[in-house]
Structure 1
């Protein structure tokens, strides 16, 4: 089954998808915003922080670092 286009998702679904991508950390906020159909990253940031807050840099700070054995 193919992934739906961003405009086929509800606003909440797009924001939840954005949260998944932000926590993965592979892309920056602007890239994710454009991929999910937002015209401006600032529009995305406003909607995201209203629903979830915080953005990725805060989410990364909350992650527990993985320890490797030497």
Structure 2
């Protein structure tokens, strides 16, 4: 989800963290904008549903478009 609370990529993913495995996982999402020029600055967080509902800390990003 974005810093403004919008769902950026509606596809849910299931990640498994077996005992003894690393507690981090990298996942890609697609970011789009309707702007033809300029810079979009926001932040992205992960929403966790199970075993408890939680939202991760947000990570800032920017997307620059050139005509």
TM-score by length of 1: 0.31
Q: Which has the larger radius of gyration?
A: 2
Structure showing the higher strand proportion among its residues: 2
TM-score by length of 2: 0.32
